[in-house]
Amino acid sequence: MNDVLLDAGNIRLYWNRVEVVSGLIFKKTNVYYYSDFYSVKASGKTLTIKKAAMKNAIMLQFKNKKQAKEALDIINSHKQ
C-alpha cells in the first residue's frame, strides 16, 4: 500500500495522502491526508488544497499542467 501513484520531485501522492518535502539544508516532510481536504482546485501548474481545519490553503507547484491535472484526478478518485 506504500506504492507511489505520482512522484513529482518534492511532491509524492499515495493512495491516501500527499507528502511534500521542503527545506534546502534540513529536509522535512509534511503529510496531508485526503480525508482532511475540504476542496482541491487545479489552476495551471498550481494545485490549491484547502483543509477543513485550516484557514490557509496549501499550494503545490508542479513542473507542468499535466502533472497538476494528474494529481487532481488521483486525489478526486481516492478521496473518501
Distance of CA 70 to the CA centre of its chain: 11
The one-digit pLDDT tens for each residue of the chain (80 residues) are 578 999 998 999 999 999 999 988 999 999 999 998 999 999 999 999 998 877 789 999 999 999 999 999 999 998 76
Distance CA 43, CA 22 (A): 22
pLDDT at site 1? 54
Cell of 26: 534540513
Residues 6+ apart with CB under 8 A from 60: 11, 18, 20, 46, 47, 48, 49, 68, 71
Strands 17-22 and 28-33, by their bridges, are antiparallel
